[in-house]
Amino acid sequence: MTNLKKLSDEGVSIWLDDLSRSRLTTGNLQSLIDEKNVVGVTTNPSIFQAAISAGDGYEEQLASFKGGSAEEAVEAMTTDDVRAACDLFAEIYSATGGEDGRVSIEVDPRLARDTDETVKQAKRLWEIVDRPNTLIKIPATPEGLPAITKTIAAGISVNVTLIFSLDRYRAVAEAYIDGLEQAAEAGIDLSTIYSVASVFISRIDAEVDKRLEEVGGDALELRGKVALANARLMFEAYEEIFSSPRFTQLAEQGANKQRPLWASTGTKNPDYSPTLYVDELVTRGVVNTMPEATLNSAFDGSVLAGDTVRGGYDEARSVLADLARTGISLADVTDKLEEEGVAKFEESWNSLLETVTDKLDS
């Protein structure tokens, strides 16, 4: 009975926030499934940039694209990795009725502000990977919200990423439900559509804590508390939205709830416990996607004390009210983080394309 098994028994699905060709070919990912209760994988442009730039296991495939474009090579390598991972998780996918055994792949981050092109590429990636346990990642930008609706309406399962604020979380849930209603009108089996809403955690504390240190005094007592409070209020919203009459009607037609997924759960402040965003966000019906360092820390030293989300809503509101009294705007923080998140993924993608172009030329 490991800590990660206990976490799973508490109702938290453990996904790995990383994927590479070497994880697949060496059996590393299978070991994490067998030994550390990993039941899914998430990827993003930064993850693939790191994996492919390292070159481990991609050389032969890259050679086959000599004379071709970097975009074609990157698409082939990333979709091949995701397809292979989907096959590895197929048994878990079947055993959990499609809830877990999921592997995410993100649309080109350069399309984050383009609704129509995002939908077009989401459909393309869905067709290329050609596995029912794929999740297509779409950012929760204002332009991404209608893309989420259109993609869900087409019967494609979606991982909505880069969610920072409570208002944006509510808009994401609304976009998902809009898509389900349109899918139902089109005669699509709603039970085949799944979605998660990826709420970013540690980046909020990193930015808020920096501002709290500038304020000083009693404000410092709020360090390490704001991201957790923000996430808990999103879960409260999740309970409200997905028990509403509107969603209940869809559930009667087979619709699945859009589960919250805790992302960016590796702590960035070395003074905090490395399992802070694991131990303090335990509740049934969520996903926690962890980088391997956090996964290993949780395996070795996670301190679990039952449900640490439900019942903490009033305290969470109090934390955010205290933050507002310091003069720090959480809305300003989350807007900044969204812009930075989009820019970071775009930068990683451009860097990857440059790296692959150099490899193809050489």
Helix (H) or strand (E) holding 184: helix 166-185
- The CA distance from 31 to 155, in Å, is 32
Beta strands in 195-321 (DSSP E): 195-200, 259-263, 286-290
The rounded distance, in Å, linking the Cα atoms of 62 and 163 is 34
Q: What would the two tokens of residue 249 be?
A: 């009607």
Burial of 187 (0-12, 13-18, 19+ CB in 10 A): exposed
Q: How many CA atoms lie within 13 A of 264 on its CB side?
A: 22
**Single-letter residue type at 283:** T
CB 48 within 8 A of CB 54: no
The C-alpha atoms of residue 93 and residue 87 are separated, in whole angstroms, by 9
Catalytic residue among 137, 150, 257, 359: 137
Catalytic residue list contains 268? no
Report the DSSP pairing between strands 259-263 and 286-290.
parallel
Q: How many CB atoms lie within 10 A of CB 102?
A: 29
Q: Where are the alpha helices (DSSP H) in 186-244?
A: 202-215, 226-241
Contact 123, 155 (CB under 8 A): no
Quick check: helix, strand or coil at residue 236?
helix
**Tokens read off for 159:** 């991982």
Helix (H) or strand (E) holding 164: none
Residues involved in catalysis: 137
